[in-house]
Structures are given as C-alpha cells and as structure tokens.
Amino acid sequence: MDVKEYVSFDAVGLADLIARGQVTPAEVQAAAREAAQAVDPRLNAVVETWPADDEPRPGSAPLAGVPFLIKDLGITMAGRRTDLGSRLAAGTVATADSTLMSRFRRAGLVTFGRTATPEMAYSTTTEPVLYGPTRNPWDLTRSAGGSSGGAGAAVAAGIVPLAHATDAAGSIRIPAAYNGLFGLKPTRGRIPVGPTADEIFNGLAVHGSVSRTVRDSAVLLDLVSGPEPGDPYVAPQPARPYAQEVTRDPGSLRIGVLAQAWGGHRTAPPVADALSRTVRLLESLDHRVEQAEPELGVGWEEFVLANARQWAANLAVSVDELAAATGRPVDFSTLEPPILASYHYGRRVTGTELVTALAVRNRVSRTLARFFDAYDVLLTPTVPDLPVPLGTHGRGAEALDGPGWLRRLFDLSPFTAAFNVAGTPAMSVPVTADTATGLPVGMQFAAGHGREGRLFRLAGQLEQAAPWSDRTPAVWAGNHPNR
C-alpha cells in the first residue's frame, strides 16, 4: 500500500481492507509512518513515535490494524511517556494503561505515537515551549488550534485517519474547525476518564476524537463509550449504535442560530458568511432554522470567573503532584508564564469559591437544558474567526494573571465552553470554507444531554449534501511521492 492509496481511505475503510486480506496491518502501518515522515517535519504535530505493539489479527476487532495516535495528555499507555506538553512533566513514563487506552486496544487500533498539546492542555493553540509550535497544514503560519492541535494537524495532513483528542472548553472542536475535520465532544460521562481520576476539571473535560469522516468518529465512540465502576457521571445509553445513526434521516429539525457569541464577541465577516451559507444549506434540507438567543443563566464575566476558578484550582493540584514526583521546581524553568500565573492563582482559590463555581455550572446546565426543550439543535460558528496566526495567543501573555489568561482563551473561542460546562454534546462540522483563502470554517452544532445520535444523523446528512473529503490542505501526505 502506497501513501496515496492509504490516505484515500478512512479508518473504517482501512479496517475493511485489512479484514478482507487485501492489505496487511504491517503494510498499513508502513504507509502511516511514511506519511508522518513526509509531512510532520513541517507540522510538528507528532512528538514521538514508537514501534507498534503486537498487531491485532485481521478481523479480530472492528478497527483491527488501523494506525492511531494518542494525545500527550489525559490518557496513559503502559511503558510510554506522557509529557503533558510541559518541561515539568517531561520524561514521565506511565506504568499502566488507562481505561480508555485499554478500550482503544480492544477496538484493534494500533497506536504508534503521541500528538502535541499545549502545556497542561491549558490553551486553545498548540505552541508549547517543550515541543515548539504545531503548524496548520492549510497555512503553516497559522495555529492548528488546541489543545488537541497535534491530533488535528496529524489527521488533516493524512498521517492517520482519526486520532484521540480531549475537550475541556473546545479542545476537540477548535482543532477540528481550524483543520477542516469532524470533531464531536460527547456528553459528560459518555467515555470514562479513569481509573486514576473520576473527573477532569470538575467534569468540564471529556475524551473523544477528530476524524476526516463522520462514520469514523461514530464507530470509535461506539467502541469506547460506556461507564466503568466508580464513574461519577453516566450518560444515557443510545437507542442504537452511533454508526447506524450516521446514515439515518434526521427528519426536519428545529435549529436555533446564534451568530454572535455570548459576552459581546463579534463574528468575523468570513465566518459570518460561512454561517449564512450553512443556514441556506440546512433550509434546503427541510430544517426549520431561525435566529435564537440562548441564555447562559449567568453573565459572561461570572461565567469566565467560574471557569477560571475550576481550571486553576485543578491545575494547581496537578502541578504540585508533578513537582513532587519529578523533584523539579515550580517556576519559570518548568512552566510557561501564563501557566505559572494560573497555578499561583489556583492555589489561592478557596473552597467556597470553588463551590460557588460549581453552582454556576449548575445554573448554566439548567438554563441550556431549557433551551433544548424548545430547539432540537443550536448552530453557531465553532470559532468566530479564521485560524489565527501563530503567536496570537501568547502576545503579552507574560503580563496576564490566571483569570486574565482564561479570559483571553475564551475571547478567542467564546462559543465552545458553554457546552463543557453544561456537559452536553457538541460537534464541529467542516461544512464549508472561506471563499477568499480556502481555509476551513467549522460550524458548531450542539444538542441536549445524551443526544449524540441526533448530531450524528445531522452530520451524516451534511456530509452527503456538502462533501468535504475532496478538500485537502497544502501539506497533505497524498501529495508526496513514495520514497
């Protein structure tokens, strides 16, 4: 199998080829590694690769033999490093698989490396001091997003058809939007985060994936979802496998549209134009689309402050544990300025302030739940602008305190975090692109608690009506001749 053939298949397609004996897992792995060698020197999306573990027998699992990458955070693979994008954690080796890693293995995925993340996943761009910036394959001067930016760039450039990602405020959906991919943030409790944690960031963060096709994300979610003993949250079981939902008719949905984000953030003209084209597409598919003004239940500044308290308090605990384990100091030699500032802020957050933040989480969850009683889906831009130039997030960041840093992140991505707070599913779909630059523009669709099936039905319909698979970035493994 050569690279050009390899990148023409999604994960489900590759697994089918392997199961029918048309190609071996070793041949597919060789193509994936060749793809990485061809494009990653320009992207810096993959921070480490390793020889594949024992490859599953073809047909022994639904995705047997499919190459896969995990994020350098939130998941552990026995015997492999987890650096968290940070000098503080660099060289840390996991002693056991986490629950999700075990499920990836059972699915048949062959994990051969890990992807870049910003330090502690505490940014919406992937530009850590430890690894250096990850570049967007559509335009190497622009961000690949974050915190799953390495995963987004790797999948978009054709290294793997899908990759592990996490999302605490948009970290699946932002890289999906920036890189022209599909990315769904599941309902809180859909995928376990154990066994060493029962929740991450007080339930804000979830696991998921980014992929080039909708069915890949649906199949993978079918394979890894479901609770484990001790989980504090359990999402309702779906009526049928998500893989089946992708080809089902979603019916005529009532879709509310939020064009301008909470907090007075303005959507840039290219994205507003893409949103208008998406609305017209939805109307042509017989959906009932209208402007909506969903409330958060709290003011924007209160919302940002509550998130800052949750994020920073959790960060402080993690940093202290890492420092104790590595024997390294907590200072500018180990942490970047905004992360160090957030750490110091987190240590000052009181118990009563954290409980107050959790009360804000409850108000947001209840308020958005009422909105989804009236609407089937909410449509927003995933982010209010095109992929930003590298360096945008860090400009003047050394002067920001903990809340100031989080405010900057939320200002750059004001549409996504509400659904982490509410714990409801939301997806970014690469429905269209900017007409002037060709850069991808992601559209976010959110639904009520446990309604991933509805989102997959809509995403499958959109993928059929406005296919995006023929749009490939400038840095694309399929453009490179075999070595």
Measured between alpha carbons, how far is 410 from 168 in angstroms, rounded to an integer?
A: 12
Instruction: Check if 252 is active-site.
Output: no
In the set 98, 123, 148, 171, the catalytic residue is 171
Confirm if 380 and 289 have CB atoms less than 8 A apart: no
147: annotated active-site residue: yes
Report the relative pairing of strands 67-71 and 110-115 from DSSP bridges. parallel
Q: Chain-centre distance of CA 294, in angstroms?
A: 24
CB atoms within 10 A of CB 260: 16
Alpha-carbon distance 306 to 292, whole Å? 25
- The backbone torsions φ and ψ at residue 261, rounded to the nearest 5 degrees and listed phi first, read -75, 165
Q: 188, 225 in Cβ contact below 8 A?
A: no
State the catalytic residue, choosing from 86, 98, 147, 342.
Answer: 147
Q: Is the dihedral of CA 5, 214, 42, 28 positive or negative?
A: negative
Task: Retrieve residue 284's tokens.
Answer: 């042509």
Instruction: Tokens for 187, please give them.
Output: 């309902």
Strand partners, 380: 444
Candidate list 71, 123, 185, 428, residue with the active-site label = 71
Told to judge if 60 belongs to the known catalytic residues of this protein, a careful annotator would answer no
Distance in angstroms (rounded) separating the CA atoms of residues 217 and 148: 15
**Beta pairing partners, 257:** 291, 379
With beta carbons less than 8 A apart as the criterion, state whether 208 and 182 touch: no
Phi, psi angle pair for 170, to nearest 5°: 130, 10
Task: Report, as residue numbers or ranges, the catalytic residues.
Answer: 71, 147, 171
